[in-house]
């Protein structure tokens, strides 16, 4: 470490980053924060208030402007024409090649097909399916690890249709404008943060700057089995099963089904239940259903992961008696807390229609919201999907006709370990870079803040590396 008041010697060439652009005085200030930061009664803190304002160092790392992300999902008419020609001229079970799957199974292509064309295409694919349950009506189903919104009315299906018809990742739902909005929310968080609370370790240990650690924990700390950023950026699907526990009303569940080949060919993917045998052809082994979670990410921009409802098949309940106004089984449904216990209060409507009647009338009144591919079903959801696929010669006798598995065929899209794979590490790095940029913007906008109280030298170097 250079003596106080002296300019440090140049870093080794391979370590040079934005420090090369600092003035001598800025560089000296930067290196001095390697020493214990000054606190009241020591060094800087002992100067008069006026003197402190005069000598506050300028934060020496400039924020950067990230280039805009270009997203293109425009349907190529030639692709659609080629697919229709392929369906017209080939045998019904003449399986698509890997190259054809990449070309023809784009979500925008599937969204343009009629339902008959869609099923005709699926007969040329693996019979395996993925599903995503939406929440429409009062939530009465739940699991021990996921019970948010129980007893409340949810409008998830209709809201999805009203807001563009895309199923979106948790990240995209919160940050519709992408990483730019994500970064701005971190700046807002910093502006509302009481910095004085970060000047010492709340455990009573030796004082040290904590601002960057606070931001990093906010972005990366997770109680789940998967890293936080990749988890939130992913769209979550189940394999070979419909997870009704994440839905709303029993016998009134609404869910989407997508061919496994479409997901494997168009997205990067990982299986949270891989240690229990999960892949596209199988859910986790019996007793481990909570691990049935396939993570999928847009290959080009994982923070924009979504699936159009029209690229899948929407399964709607058929014979369930429902409220003709809301489509729910109930007039009211809530949980009443009484004597330290919860009691379910549920009433059913005096007059009902079938769920099929309700949704048929709803889409007649709102034709712009009607999904492209609809199936009305009765019975247990997973069994209903399996029966549907067999009835349409997609599954059943031809189960063994699929070529290699989806995972093997698209192994370059597989993320086998979300903690170590370069793809997920790059997601975390991109989010941390936005956090670093937010810190740089915040500190440059606050000349009254002595950044040496809140950042250590290693913090500065990490921020600098993320922005390089």
pLDDT at residue 39 in the model:
30
Tokens read off for 209: 């700057």
CB of 138 closer than 8 Å to CB of 248:
yes
β-pairing verdict for 254-259 and 136-138? unpaired
Cα separations in angstroms, 172 against 131, 167, 229, 389: 19, 10, 12, 31
pLDDT at residue 40 in the model:
30
Count Cα atoms within 13 angstroms, Cβ side, for 303: 22
pLDDT at residue 201 in the model:
52
β-pairing verdict for 129-134 and 254-259? antiparallel
Instruction: Return d(Cα 124, Cα 97) in angstroms, integer.
Output: 9
What DSSP element (H or E) covers 268? strand 267-271
Instruction: Return d(Cα 217, Cα 404) in angstroms, integer.
Output: 41
Please compute Rg for the chain using Cα positions: 28
The number of residues making up the chain comes to 468
Q: What are the residue ranges of helices labelled H in 338-417?
A: 355-365, 381-391, 406-409
pLDDT in tens, the chain (468 residues): 433 333 333 333 333 333 333 333 433 333 333 333 333 323 333 333 443 444 566 677 888 888 877 766 788 899 999 999 999 998 887 899 999 999 999 999 999 999 999 999 999 999 999 999 999 989 887 665 666 777 788 999 999 999 999 999 999 999 998 999 999 999 999 999 888 777 655 555 545 568 898 999 999 988 778 899 999 999 999 999 998 888 888 999 999 999 999 999 999 999 988 787 788 888 887 767 777 889 999 999 999 999 999 999 999 999 999 999 999 999 998 888 877 777 888 899 999 999 999 999 999 999 999 999 999 999 999 999 999 999 999 987 655 555 568 888 999 999 999 999 999 999 999 999 999 999 999 999 988 888 888 888 899 999 999 998
Q: What does pTM read for this prediction?
A: 0.82
- Tell me the backbone φ, ψ of residue 146, rounded to 5 degrees: -155, 95
CA dihedral 362, 365, 366, 368 (to 10 degrees): 130
CA end-to-end span of the chain, whole Å? Answer: 24
What DSSP element (H or E) covers 153? strand 153-155
Q: Residue 468, Cβ neighbours under 10 Å: how many? A: 11
Domain ranges of the chain: 13-62+185-221+423-466, 78-169+234-419
pLDDT at residue 202 in the model:
52
What DSSP element (H or E) covers 154? strand 153-155
CB of 410 closer than 8 Å to CB of 265:
yes
Q: Residue 151, Cβ neighbours under 10 Å: how many? A: 17
Instruction: Return d(Cα 264, Cα 407) in angstroms, integer.
Output: 7
DSSP 374: E
Count Cα atoms within 13 angstroms, Cβ side, for 246: 19
CB of 82 closer than 8 Å to CB of 121:
no
SS3 (DSSP) at 233: helix
Cα separations in angstroms, 118 against 82, 153, 339, 376: 14, 33, 54, 16
Contacts (Cβ under 8 Å, ≥6 apart) of 405: 126, 279, 280, 281
Give 108-131 pLDDT, tens digit per residue: 999 999 999 999 999 999 999 999
DSSP 284: S
Burial class (CB in 10 A: 0-12, 13-18, 19+), 256: buried
Cα separations in angstroms, 218 against 139, 274, 425: 30, 28, 17
- Find, among 355, 354, 330, 334, the residue nearest to 344 by Cα: 334
Instruction: Return d(Cα 418, Cα 220) in angstroms, integer.
Output: 13
Cα separations in angstroms, 98 against 124, 126, 404: 12, 12, 10
| Concatenated DSSP letters of 66-114 | PPPPP------HHHHHHHHHHHHHS-TT-PPPHHHHHHH--HHHHTTS-
- Beta strands per DSSP E along 287-394: 294-298, 306-308, 313-317, 321-322, 332-338, 341-347, 353-354, 374-377
Instruction: Return d(Cα 265, Cα 259) in angstroms, integer.
Output: 10
């Amino acid at each position: 470490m250079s003596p106080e008041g002296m300019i440090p010697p140049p870093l080794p060439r391979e370590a040079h980053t934005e420090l090369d652009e600092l003035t001598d005085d800025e560089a000296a200030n930067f290196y001095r924060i390697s020493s214990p930061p000054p606190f009241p009664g020591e060094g800087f803190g002992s100067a008069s208030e006026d003197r402190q304002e005069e000598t506050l160092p300028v934060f020496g790392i400039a924020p950067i402007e990230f280039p805009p992300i270009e997203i293109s999902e425009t349907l190529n008419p030639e692709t659609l024409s080629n697919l229709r020609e392929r369906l017209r001229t080939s045998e019904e079970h003449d399986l698509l090649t890997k190259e054809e799957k990449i070309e023809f199974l784009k979500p925008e292509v599937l969204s343009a097909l009629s339902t008959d064309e869609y099923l005709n295409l699926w007969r040329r694919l693996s019979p395996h399916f993925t599903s995503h349950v939406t929440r429409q009506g009062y939530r009465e189903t739940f699991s021990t690890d996921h019970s948010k919104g129980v007893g409340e009315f949810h409008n998830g299906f209709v809201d999805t249709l009203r807001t563009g018809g895309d199923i979106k990742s948790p990240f995209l739902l919160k940050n519709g404008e992408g990483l730019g909005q994500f970064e701005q929310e971190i700046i807002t968080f910093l502006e509302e943060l009481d910095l004085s609370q970060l000047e010492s370790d709340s455990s009573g240990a030796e004082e040290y700057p904590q601002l960057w650690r606070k931001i990093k924990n906010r972005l990366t700390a997770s109680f789940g089995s998967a890293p936080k950023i990749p988890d939130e950026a992913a769209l979550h699907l189940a394999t070979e099963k419909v997870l009704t526990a994440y839905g709303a009303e029993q016998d009134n569940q609404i869910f989407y089904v997508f061919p496994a080949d479409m997901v494997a060919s168009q997205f990067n993917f990982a299986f949270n239940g891989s240690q229990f045998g999960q892949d596209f052809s199988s859910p986790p082994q019996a007793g481990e259903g909570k691990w049935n979670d396939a993570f999928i990410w847009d290959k080009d921009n994982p923070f924009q992961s979504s699936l159009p409802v029209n690229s899948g098949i929407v399964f709607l309940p058929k014979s369930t008696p429902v409220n003709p106004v809301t489509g729910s089984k109930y007039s009211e449904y809530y949980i009443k807390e009484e004597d330290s216990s919860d009691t379910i209060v549920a009433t059913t409507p005096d007059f009902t229609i079938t769920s099929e009647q309700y949704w048929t009338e709803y889409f007649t009144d709102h034709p712009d919201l009607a999904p492209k591919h609809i199936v009305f079903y009765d019975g247990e959801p997973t069994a209903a999907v399996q029966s549907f696929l067999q009835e349409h010669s997609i599954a059943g006798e031809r189960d063994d006709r699929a070529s290699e598995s989806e995972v093997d065929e698209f192994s370059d899209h597989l993320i086998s370990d979300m903690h170590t794979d370069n793809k997920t590490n790059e997601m975390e790095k991109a989010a941390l870079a936005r956090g670093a940029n937010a810190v740089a913007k915040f500190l440059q906008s606050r000349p009254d803040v002595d950044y040496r109280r809140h950042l250590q030298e290693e913090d500065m170097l990490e921020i600098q590396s993320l922005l390089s």
